[in-house]
Structure formats: structure tokens, C-alpha cells
Structure 1
């Protein structure tokens, strides 16, 4: 029995889009055509892959297993074609990227237009969200997040793009009105702008390896770094922010570093992707461009990482 590869396309699209109507819009084909071809696929296999009613669309247990292999088969087919064309044409095709809000604002907003100009045949789709993302299930080629703890193992390809310190900053106006802290212990007498109610204590690190706990007076809590940056610029208090986020404000003297010999740890920005997606020229070119942008040409890869 030889399956029609197009039927796998229709089935995978229906699963990924959550129904025939959404798959119809994505593929630009009539809903009835997709539904009929998926039904023919089930008849050919003599199994039920999807439980569908007027209100629901769910995979059977066998349907879930079939989807995983069908999805992989389509990627392999796409990669096989790409291998033939790899040395014949410039990178092309759609590259789907998901990124957290800070990553999109700080890095991708400037980088992606440059990427698009370098590879005009690559069509970029960026989904910006801070929710958990299942990269493979949701069909993304690349996911980029900033995180504080190492990513747990998931079998995805992981590339570390950037590690930067988290620094303490405040406005000159605030420091003029308060005695600038000379040690982490002095922070207990200062107003703190915190990322969360549970983050009231800062763990500060010195290049010598010394660690100190600091607990400023919490006067504002916000789980969004840009809000904290503006609050610090307005003179409300001292906050901890990734260094890159502060560069412009530090350059213009809207903010200055507090306890410059200390930092509040580091934040890591990581790119992950499914193994097979990295074989596609458009994805590969995008990855190498982003590595170049983030790390000044330094490259490297390892296998690991789950993503949120």
C-alpha cells in the first residue's frame, strides 16, 4: 500500500490548525476537499484517526502516533528536496519563529528586517509570546527565549546565543536624593523596584566569588522589565535589569550603575529547534544569521533543552 503524500499534508494541517476550517484557510483549499481526503486516508488505512463532531475535533490514540510520524515524514520530504536545491538557490521558504516579548523587543525588532534584506526569498513569521511553547507540536522552526536556569533536556538542538549580567541601576536624580549605597547591606535603606513579590531579596555576586543577600524596601512590583526601567529612570528607586536593556539609558546618563562591582546573576538567551528543521536552507540561514547577530560570529551547538 502506498500512501498519497498530499493526504499526509492535509491530515497534518488539520491537526496543527485544530480543524478542517482552519486548515482550509491555511492551505487555501476548500474545507470539503481536506475533509474528504482525510476520510479517504482513514479508509485506506482502515482506521479511525480523528474523532470529529460538529463541536469537537480530537485525535484518537492511534491518530496521535500517526501524526508524529506523518509530521516527521513531511519534514523529511521537505529536507530531501532542499538538499537537492541547497547549492542551486539562495535560502527560501517560510521560517516560523517564536520568541518571548523581551527577546523580540531587544533583539529581533532590529535584527529581522536585516535578515529579510539579506535573504529576500525567506518569508519570516514571528509569534511573540511569553507562554509555554511546544516547538514541535506547534510547528515552529526556531524558538528563542531568555532564561535564568539551564533549560531541561528535551532532545531539541540548543544553541546558546548570549549570556549577559543583570546589573543594578538607578537614576542620577534618585541617587542625589539618597546616599548612594556603598555595599549590598546598604540596599536595605533604599527603595527597590522588584520583578515580583517573591523576589524581594536580591542575591548579589562579586567577581571574587563573594555572594551577598540584599533586601531593599519594595515600593513597586512589575513583572515586565521595560516598566521597571522607566520607573527607575523616573527616579522611583533601584532595580535589577539585563545589561543590554540599560545600554541606551546608561549612555545618555538617564540611568547609572549602582554597586558596579556587583551583579544580580546572569540571564541567558538560547535558540532551540527540532533536528530536522535545521536541515532546511531557510532555517539554517536564519539560525546562522541570529548566531552572528547575538554572538559576533561565534558559533556552537549542543543537543538539549525544552522551551517555554
Structure 2
């Protein structure tokens, strides 16, 4: 069987154009490279290199052998790297950026668990709703929630979960104002809006129908926690991701309104530069977040 070290020396000699150059790069004497390549040729019973004092060229057999040797070395390096990545303990700094709602819903309670699982990780979370350039600003991971598909940016994109945006209100509000039985009845109700100019809701029926309605603007806030508290306080009807208001629904502080209708779906995508995902710390964080969101309420449609 061939010696893998002989393949390494032979490939280096070919790539560097001679034994001396290969020896300098590998830190071994020129004579060692020359001797091992000669032994390789003897074992194969074939001349691989034509070499004189002035030339160093591959034979036809040597050219074919080099292509296979190079492929074998690449596979060997990949096998070694695969094992090293798996056994390496996640460590070092991992910089994460996320919007305010995403950080509150998914990260605030989960990142301490990740830190406890991997004590050598140094987690840095930047909570901001501004656009972040991962590469230019040195972030490893971004969690982005969006309604439309993200543009093709050359970054790795991994969809973590897709949530339904549902209509909710407090039992007290519905008792006092009545429960709407059709989208058109929402015009008679107070709406808690995500922005001052977002007064029209586009609703979709589970069977595919669509309706546009304009509730009475009672309050607007571009922050989901504020809308959640306003709805719980009985100020009106809000449109919120189901996972975001799941606890309030379970505890009875909120109720679904028009349960056969929803206000679209919001996707949460993990985005990262290609090479960052090879680092054990980043990879461990990615897999941890994927598991967390896969188990999140209304996580149907999550991709592992």
C-alpha cells in the first residue's frame, strides 16, 4: 500500500516545481524529498518525473498519478477536518445581531442555556432593528424576521421557522365590544397598529380567501411587546406572531379573533458569512438556535 507521506512529498514537488522548493515549504531536506519520490516510483514501477539539472517535468503516467494523488490528499484533509470540527470544543467569541422582537422572543431566555452548555463561548448579542452588514461589521450570525424573501446577498441563509400572524384581543375587550364574526366587522373595532400608516390589514382565510379591512386606529407602536401589552390591557385588537403571544393565549390573557383568518406569515432566517460557519463556536450556536426555534410555538414549517 502507498505511503500517504510519499503522496504529500510527490504532490509538493509537482506543485512547487522541484525537490528543493518542496523541501523548503515542507521543512524537510531536498534529499529526503528526492529519495521518497524515487522510492515511490520504484514501488509503482513507473517513472513519474523527468528530472535533469535543468528541467523537472511530469511524465504522462506521472500527470495521471498526480491528479489522483491530489484528489486523495484533498479527501484526507477533508476527513481530518471533519473529525476535528466535531471534537473541537466550541470556544471563542460569537457575535450575534437580532431585532428587538426576535431577541425578546427567542434569544433572551435561550442564550444563557447555550452559555452554560459551552462555558468557553463568549456570546455577544447586539439588539437592533437597523440593517446590519455582517461582513463589514464583523458579525458571525444574524437572525432576521421578514415577510418577503431575503435578497440573495451571497451569505448563507437558513430558514429556522415560519410563524402565522394572528389577530388577538383580551377577553375583557371582546366582552365589552363584542367578538367580530367576519373581517368586515373589524371596522367597528379598535385596532392596535404596527405603525401609524399601517391602518389597513390584509387578511387571508385558511381556504385561500383574502380581505382588506381598516379598524379604528386606537394606538400604534413599531414594537411587538408594546402591542402585546396594549392588547392584554384591553385597548383593542392586534396582529401578532403566534409564537410571540403564545404564552398570553395559553394563560387566557388574550384570545384569538377570527381564528380562520390570519394576517400573513413571518419567517425567521439565520444569516451568516460562509466561512464563519466552519468555526466550532459558530456552528454550535447555529445548531442550538435551530433547535430552539424548531421547538418554538407555531414552528410548523421550520427547517432543520
The residue that corresponds to 2:214 in the other structure is 215
Cα shift at 1:84: 8.5
The residue that corresponds to 1:129 in the other structure is 128
The residue that corresponds to 2:229 in the other structure is 230
The residue that corresponds to 2:256 in the other structure is 257
Structure 2 matches for 1:1-308, cutoff 5 A?
A: 85-296=84-295, 299-300=303-304
Contact 2:161–2:303 under 8 Å retained in 1: no
Instruction: Determine the C-alpha separation between the residues in 2 that align with 1:87 and 1:185.
Output: 56
Contact 2:134–2:272 under 8 Å retained in 1: yes
Instruction: Determine the C-alpha separation between the residues in 2 that align with 1:96 and 1:83.
Output: 24
The residue that corresponds to 2:78 in the other structure is none
Structure of larger gyration radius: 2
- Deviation string 1:154-191 (CA, Å, 9 cap, x unpaired) is 01000011100000011111111112100000001111
User: Cα gap change, 1:219/1:299 in structure 2, threshold over 3 Å: closer, same or farther?
Assistant: closer
Could you state the TM-score of these two structures normalised by the residue count of structure 2?
0.69
Deviates more, 1:290-299 or 1:163-172: 290-299
- The SS at the match of 2:175 is helix
The residue that corresponds to 1:58 in the other structure is none
Could you state the TM-score of these two structures normalised by the residue count of structure 1?
0.68
User: What is the total number of aligned residue pairs between the two structures?
Assistant: 220
Q: How big is the alpha-carbon RMSD for the aligned residues of Structure 1 and Structure 2?
A: 1.8
- Deviation string 1:9-59 (CA, Å, 9 cap, x unpaired) is xxxxxxxxxxxxxxxxxxxxxxxxxxxxxxxxxxxxxxxxxxxxxxxxxxx
Structure 1 unaligned segments of length 5 or more: list them.
1-81, 301-308
